[in-house]
Amino acid sequence: MANEARWYVVHTYSGYENKVARDLATMVESRGMQDLIQDIKIPTETVTEIKDDKKKEVERKIFPGYVLIKMIVTDDSWYVVRNIRGCTGFVGPASKPVPLTDEEVAALGVEKHSVEVMYAVGDNVKIISGPLEGYNGVVKTIDTEANSVCVTLSMFGRETPVELELDQISLAD
C-alpha cells in the first residue's frame, strides 16, 4: 500500500453523486480519517443555457455517476468508501482501486497547481518552448487561472498576439 494519497474514481448510482460525497465527508469526519481520505470532488462545469431568450448559468456534472476521491488506500479507507449508500464501487478491475495518472488529474483539473511567474504585463520575454521557440515578444495579459499568457510578437512586420502557456516563456536577457 502506498503512503501517498492518490486520486481514485468511485462509481455511484446516477443522481447520487452529491449524496455520496456528502455522506462520505460526514463519515470521514466522524471516524477521524482525514489523513486517509483527504479530498472528495465531483467534476462540474458551468454552462450557459439559453431558454425562452433568457440566459441562465447552470452547473453540470462532467461525469454523471462518478465521484473523485483523493485517498490512501488501506483496508479501512476502502471499506468506508465501498459501504457508503449509493456507491457501487471503485473503477478498476474487480473493484480493485486504480489511481488516476498525474496526466489524468491535470486534464480533469481537480488539483490546481499554483504557478509563480517571474514576468509582468509589459515585460520583454523570450519563448523557450513550442513551435515559436526563440521568438521575442511583449507580455500583454497574464491569466494564471487558465495557465495562459498573451504575448505580442513581431512577425512579418506586424504585431501578432499569441496565446501561450505560462511556462513557455521567460524574461528576455
Domains of the chain, by residue range, sit at 6-108, 124-171
Q: What fold does the segment set 6-108 form as a domain?
A: Alpha-Beta Plaits (3.30.70)
124-171 — its CATH code?
Answer: 2.30.30.30
User: Mind listing the pLDDT tens digit of every residue in the chain (173 residues)?
Assistant: 457 889 999 999 989 999 999 999 999 999 999 999 999 998 887 777 777 778 888 888 888 999 999 999 998 999 999 999 999 989 888 767 889 888 888 777 666 555 667 888 999 999 998 899 999 999 999 887 777 899 999 888 899 999 998 888 888 87
Closest CA to 92 of 1, 11, 173: 11
Pairing, β 6-12 against β 87-90: antiparallel
Question: Which residues lie below 8 Å from residue 115, measured CB to CB, with a gap of 6+?
Answer: 144, 147, 166, 167
If 0-12 CB within 10 Å is exposed, 13-18 middle and 19+ buried, where does residue 10 land?
buried
Closest CA to 9 of 40, 35, 36: 40
Question: Which residues lie below 8 Å from residue 116, measured CB to CB, with a gap of 6+?
Answer: none
